[in-house]
Every structure is written in C-alpha cells, then in structure tokens.
Amino acid sequence: MSNSNADTQPVSPVIKRHRGPSVVWLLPFLALLISGWLVFKSYQDAGIMIEVQFDTAEGLEAGVTKVIYRGLPTGTVKSLQLNEDLKSVTALIEMEKEAAEVLREGTRFWLVKPQISLSGVKGLETLLSGYYVEIQPGQGDTTTEFTADNEPPPPLKDKRGLYLTLQADTAQSIQRGAAVFYRQIEVGEVINFGLSDRSDQIRIELFIEPAYSHLISNNTRFWNASGISLKADLSGLDLRFGSLAAIIAGGISFYTPPDDNSGLDPDKPFQLYPDYEAAEDGIAVYVKFPARTPLVEGTRVISEGIQIGRVQQLSLSSDLRTLDARLLIDPRAKPLLRSDSQFWLPQPDISLNKLQKIGDLIKGASIELQPGQGSPQFEFTALNTPPARRPGLPGFDIQLEAEQLGSVSYGSPILYRQIPVGEVRGYELSEDNDRVIIHATVRDEHADLIRHNSRFWEQSGLNLQAGVDGVEFNSASLSTIIDGGISFFTPDTQEQKTVSENHRFHLFRNFDNASKQGRLLYKENAGKLPIRVRAPALGSLTVGAPVLYKQLQVGKVSHYALDKQQDEMVIHLLIDKTYRHLVTDQSRFWNSSGIDASLSRQGVRINTESLQTLIRGGVSFANLEARGKPAKARAQYTLHPSEAKALQQGPDIRVTFPAGPDIALGAKIRYKGLEMGEVTDVRLLDSDGAIETAIALNKEGALLAKQGTRFWIAAPKFNLSGVDYPETLLIGNHIEALPGPGKPEYRFTGLLERPGDLQLPGLNIILETHQLGALKRDSVIYFRGMPVGHVVGFELTQDSQTVQLFANIKPRYRRLVTPDSQFWNISGIDAEFGLFSGARVETTNLESFVQGGIAFSTPDLSKSNVGTGYRFTLSEKEPRQ
C-alpha cells in the first residue's frame, strides 16, 4: 500500500496483486485432511466380522452387546438375524483385530447373564451394562463361524492347585461355583459337574486351592454339605447346616481321617456321600423287602432297641415285587448278621401304653433285626410281619387260641387285674387254618399267675359291656380300647397246677364267657348272698352290673341263664356280705337300666340311677316294709321292669271306655290331682273304638277298686270361661276317678266325661225345670250378678217329665241358699215388646248369654240353710217381686 502525499504529485499506487490462492483455501484442505483421517481411522478400526450362532437372541442387542475376553471388550454384536431353520439366531459380531488370535475352532462363546446367589454375585455388571458375550479361547484353525454354548464352559484348569473328581448318585443342590469346605473354611470350589461317561453317575470336578491341597488324601471322605439337615426325635434335636452360602448354593465338605498317610492319587475319583452320616463307614447288607414297604433312605435299623445302622439305598427290583434295600450296618454289629437273622419292618401304630412308640411315630419306622444263629450272611429277605415266635426273648411264653384275631395286635398287653404283665408277640394261623394262634409272653416275675385253668378273654375295643374282669374292673383302660388287650383271671380252685411254657389256652370273646357268666369267680362269691331274679328278658344287664339299694351298690350281677322252660331269664345276683340283711321277703327288684323319663305337669323328669347303670344296666331293689324276714340264699324274686311297677301295691283293675277321647299307655289315674295309678295296657274292644284299659293302681289307688267308683277320661275342653284340663293338651289325656263306697271291685265301665251328679265340695242342690234351654254343664250360677256356683250336670227325671240340673254352690256361698231361694234362668236374651213401652232387651252378660246361666235370690238370708240334695224349681223368668 502507498500513502498519498499532499505535497508531491500523486503517485499512482503500486498495486501488488496477491497472487496464489487465498489463505482461506486452507479450510477445505484441512477439512479434507480431517475427513481423510477419519476414513483411515475407521478402516483401521474395522475389526473381523464373525458369525456366532445362538439358540436365542434373548439378551443380545445389535450394536450394544459386547464381546468380552478376560474383562476386556474385544468386540460388538453388530446385527442379529434369524436363521432359516427358525431355530437359532446368528449374531454378526465385529471383533477387534487384536482378538484375531483367539478366534479358533475350539473357541467357545456364551452369553453372560447376571446370577445372584448367596455364594456370590456373578455377572453383576451385566445388570447395568447389559448382557455380554464371553469367550474362552480354544485350539484349532482360525475360523469366523462359531456356535455359542448355553452354559459357561468349565474354567480352564490353568490355575495352580489340585483338581479332583467326585462321583455321586445325584448332584443334589451342587452348582458350579459351589464351595468346598474343610472345617467350614472355604478351600475350593466346584468347577464343573456332569454325567459320567456311562451316564450312571454324576461327576463333579473340584478345584482345591494350592494352600489346602495337602488336606486331601486317598481316605478323604466327601459329603454334600448343602442345605440344612434337621433331625428331630424324642431324644433330641440335631440341626446341622453349613455356611449360609452352602445352604443356598450348595457345598461340599470333606474330612480326612487323622494320621492318614495313604497319599493321594489325584486321578482316582472320590465318592460324594449325600450327607455327613452317609460318609461314615459301615457294612453293606442287602435286604429284600416286599414292594410297597414304607421305607425311606435313612430308615433306622434297630436290634434290641439299639440303632445299628440305617437304610442307605433303596431300589425296586426289576419285576417290581421287591424293594431292595442296602443297609449300612455298624461294623460292631457284624456278629448279629447270621443266616438265621431276621429283618422286618414293624408297622407303625398309635399306642397309648408305650411312650417310645410315640417316639417311633415321630422318628419314623425302623427296621427291626432279630439276631440269629448260623454263618455270617449279608443278604436277607425281610419278613412281612414280625415273627410270631421270637425265641430268646425273656419271659414266659404262652399261646392263645382264638376263633378270630379281634383287635389283638402286636404289642397288645396281657393284663392281670388291669396291670400289664406281658404282651402279645405275634400271631399266626393254626396248622389247620381254622384258628388263630396268638403268641404272648408274660414277664418272668408274673409267670406264676398263669395256671392251667387260667381263663383269658379279649379286652378290646369300645366294648363297655365287657369291661369287667375277675376282680373289679369297671371299664377297660383307654389304652386297651385303642390298642386291644388280653385279660385273664385264674379261678380259685383247690388244684392249682402250673403250666409249661407254650401251653395253649382258649381266648374267650369276653369276660362273661371266660367266667362262665361269673360262676367261676369262687373267691369273689364267698360270703355273699346269692339270690335269683326272674325276668322275661335280660335287657341290657351284663355280668358285673351293679345291684343298687337306694342307689348304693350292694352287690352285682353274677351270671344269668335261661330257666328250664327256656322262656324266662334267671339272673343270679350276689349281694355283698355287708348288705345281705337288706334283702328281705319284702324286697322288690326292678331293672334300673337306661333312662326313665316321665312327663308331668311339673315338667320333664329324667330319672337314671347312675351313669354306670345307664350304660351297663343295673338291678335296684327296695323294701316295701321295713321289717321283713331276711331272705334265704337262692331266694327267687321277680324282676320288675320299672321302679313304679315294682313298688306298686294296689290291685290291677280294668276299665272299659266307650268310643271317645283317646287314652294312651302310661296315662295316669288321678283323684283330686293325685296319682292313683297308671294305664299299663290299652286294648281296642270293637270297631266302634271302645277300649279296655288295664290300670295298675298304687298304694293310695287301692281305694278306687271299689264298687261304684266312676272313671272318666279327662280331655281338654274349651269353653268361654276357660279350658278344662289344660295340662292334657301337653301331656295327653288322663283318667279321673271318683271313688265309690262299695265292696272291692276290679272291673269298671268308664265314662267319657265327668258324671253329672258329681258330689263336689260345697252345697249340691237339684234344680228342676221343664226345659234345659241354653243351660249346659258349667253354666254359671249368679247371686246378685256374682258367680257363686255352677251347673255340674243334668239328667231327665225318671218319668222324663222334667229335667233335673245338678248345681254346686261353692262352700263359702252355701249360706246364701235357703228354702225360700228362687232360681231363674238368665240364659239368652230377654226381649219384651210393648205397644207403649217399646222394645226392652235384657241380657246379663256375654258368658251367660252364650253358655247359659242361672240366677237366684234369697229374700231372707237369716233363714236356715238347706242341705245337700235339696230340690228347687227353676223358673223361666225372674219372678216379679
């Protein structure tokens, strides 16, 4: 640029053209440079494209999912596509160039997903970063096509340490990565597990840290420490568990016997035992059980109450008929395993008489081993049931012969006076198969209780009637109800022969049979008063049922039998010595079994002697009169069906009623509200409905058995003034009686309703009238409007010209009636019509309007009263004064 100068000639400026490209052109050049660099870089970055086949694209994401090798991202899934077979997915993966060396045929790819367990968290990073594909380099030629594994391959055995192989029957809760513990310290882990080559066992590969390698020797025993092992029985609680991680993730523990110098052969597989106990040593014994035997692995083997082993393994035989159990028996019990030894599984049962059986219930069944003689043997066939005869057991063996087994079972007690003195060992069919032979053992100290004439009976089940034994058993114990049991007694006879072992007795069904209805109880009967009662039927009486006097037991039913005519039962009673004076010739016996319920106006009365008699029956007696002659031995009485019947002293009468209200069996006879007897029989006489009743009168009722006594049926009756005999509505009709004055009489004809000329307390008078009109029974008699009496009945006079009404004036009003008294009928409406007076209607009250009524007036009350039976005339209208 040139400057203009005012003093000098303007010099045209030298214009220097800037030649060449402008600086601005650096920009596109730079841009080209940058772009070129980018292109170069992207080319340089471009990796190797490989194809990996996955079963599923789950967790894979194009452009996102990384391939990671030893924690280093080495590639990215670029795209995913479904294969043509629609069964797999091919992921196109761009691998870093550096990873080229890894991509060989043996290289394995697998998808890493998060796994959270208590043994550790694996793949936690995938939670945030997403799943990734991990690779494990392999050998072989370079390739670009792979198939992914579903499971991570086992880690390479490239770490320093000890690699071991275990064999197990199951891989129960063992996982890859599960820890290996030694005394609860983690010393290694499970690196892989799978089926063995022959697929019959599980092979588990372990890695033991080098620091702990010396803990393993050939005698090391491994067991599965997974989970919690809880063993509870009555002897205690055994809870074992490994670390929390082992509980959840599984774990393996091992134990090496101390001072073991057996060295280690790392290639030899070890056995993995299912639990700590299984890892222990034992003798293997093979026992065949019938199929369906409820055995489990671990079922204990018991001999003489001591556990000597347990079931190690169970398998079903090929023909499905036997269960082959491998028992692991304590080596110390080896002498018990002889050719005669017997195995069986006792069936578990609920029993109240032995507590250790409850223990069995909790602990589970256990196999019993009965040691035998012979040569050592390790294969057995188990018995179906416990051996019926078990030689060598302490005690006195007896045999019982029964028609049926009943409720007797293994272990049922043998009871003597309700004390267990032995137990049932077993049972079997007799040789000819028509009887059951029960083998029982009585303890040695009680063996002398068994005599040749001892009598055994089954005391089992809920048979309360049989709940009586030789001495004083009131009911079977609860345990025998459930468990069954056998009782026995020995009759006291002079000859008391002892018996040899295995003597065969008969087992009676119940005590009655065993004691010949009680006749064999000699000792018990001594000094007692034997009497007999006859009854048409035995009822619910049993041997041993109590004999009660004022509800005090004074004796019992000894036995019973049919009489010679075979139509009545003769029941033999034994009255205790102390009470024998109570039985006199005045004694009346009745059957007090069951419930006696009676319904009366006072309510329902339920009468039972005692709960005992309710169930077992009983005989009661009472004396009619205090002083009677003492009864002789074997005196005979009648057994009345009820107390009332027994104590009835009045005569039996028969009353015939015409057809009318019903009368039921048991209906009472009442006189003045008092019970005089009871209807014991009702019989229809003809088709009209006439009935004949048999009535048993009681002591007071004897006065009814007189000529002239009248009986009528009291049935409920409704009228305006109330209800007659309202109680009969509830408890049925009864019979009212009115004693007559005559000689003794036992047959009567009854009335359907109250007789008209009933002599009631008060003044009984007779009113004569021409017309009965509206008057009827119970029409009220008024004096100055006040009811003072009523019409009792009416009848035609003998000449049939007039009607005579029988009226009763209540005692307190009898002075109102004098010979001057005038009676008039006030029934109905008294209407008068007069030309001037108009209509006058008169009626007294509603009751007399409907029911009829009589009024009377007495002009002079000071006159002397009239006597009963005095006759008045009943006028139709009120007499004019």
Partner 1 sequence: MAEPPVYQSARSAGLIVCGDCNKLHPAAMEGEHCDRCGVTLHSRQKNSLSRSWACLITAIILFLPANLLPIMTFKVFGRGEPSTILGGILQLLDQHMLFIALVVLTASIVVPVMKIIAMLILLATVQFGLQTNLRQKTIMYRVVEWIGRWSMLDIFVIGVLVALVQLGNIAHIEGNHGATAFGAVVILTMFAAINFDTRLIWDNGAGEKSDGEKDSQ
| Binding site residues, partner 1, CB under 8 A | 1, 21-22, 24-28, 30-32, 34-35, 38, 63-64, 128-130
CB of 91 vs partner 1, minimal distance in Å: 16
- Sequence-ordered alpha helix ranges (H) in 417-507: 478-483
Nearer to partner 1, 131 or 380 (CB): 131
Taking the least distance from each CB to partner 1, the nearer of 35 and 474 is 35
Residue 26 or 72 with smaller CB distance to partner 1: 26
User: Are 864 and 815 in contact, with CB atoms under 8 Å apart?
Assistant: no
- Identity of residue 110: W
Distance CA 656, CA 665 (A): 14
Q: Which CB sits closer to partner 1, 13 or 376?
A: 13
What's the angle, vertex CA 246, arms to CA 125 and CA 227, rounded to 5? 130
Tell me 629's DSSP state.
P
What's the CA gap between 879 and 857, in Å, rounded? 10
From 157, 135, 139, select the one nearest 147 (Cα to Cα).
135
Q: How far apart are CA 51 and CA 586, in angstroms?
A: 120
Smallest distance from the beta carbon of 18 to partner 1, in angstroms? 8
Burial status of residue 241 (CB atoms within 10 A of its CB: 0-12, 13-18, 19 or more): middle
Report in angstroms how near the CB of residue 110 gets to partner 1 at its nearest: 20
* Minimum distance from residue 118 beta carbon to partner 1 (Å): 25
Of 24 and 841, which has the nearer Cβ to partner 1? 24
Distance, CA of 523 to CA of 400 (rounded, Å) = 25
Instruction: Output the smallest distance, CB 20 to partner 1, in A.
Output: 11
Calpha distance 34→16 (Å, rounded): 34
CB of 27 vs partner 1, minimal distance in Å: 4
In the bound state with partner 1, the residue whose beta carbon lies nearer, of 111 and 191, is: 111
Token pair belonging to 543: 């041997």
**Residue 112 CB, nearest approach to partner 1 (Å):** 15
Q: Whose Cβ is closer to partner 1: residue 31's or residue 358's?
A: 31
Q: Please, which residue, 128 or 362, has the CB nearer to partner 1?
A: 128
Tell the smallest beta-carbon distance from residue 38 to partner 1 (Å).
Answer: 6
Q: Which is nearer to partner 1, 39 or 211 (CB)?
A: 39
**Minimal distance, residue 45 CB to partner 1, in Å:** 12
CB of 14 to partner 1, least distance (A): 12
Residue with Cβ nearer partner 1 (37 or 522): 37
| Chain position carrying tokens 């980018």 | 38
How far apart are the C-alpha atoms of 107 and 111, rounded to whole Å?
14
- End-to-end CA gap in the chain: 179
CB 152 within 8 A of CB 191: no
Q: How far is the CB of 313 from partner 1 (least distance, A)?
A: 51
Beta bridge pairs of residue 531 = 573, 635
- Cβ contacts of 785 within 8 Å, gap of 6 or more: 844, 845, 855
Whole-angstrom CA distances from 2 to 10, 327, 874 are 10, 122, 181
Contact (Cβ atoms closer than 8 angstroms) between residue 393 and residue 387: no
CB of residue 100 to partner 1, shortest distance in Å: 24
| Nearest by Cα to 278 from 317, 315, 223, 325 | 223
What DSSP character marks residue 219?
T
How far apart, in whole angstroms, are the C-alpha atoms of residue 295 and residue 316?
A: 11
For every residue of 655-671, DSSP letters joined together read EEE-S-S---TTPEEEE
| CA dist., res. 180 & res. 161, Å (int) | 13
Nearer CB in complex with partner 1: 22/318: 22
Residue number, 10 or 838, with CB nearest to partner 1:
10
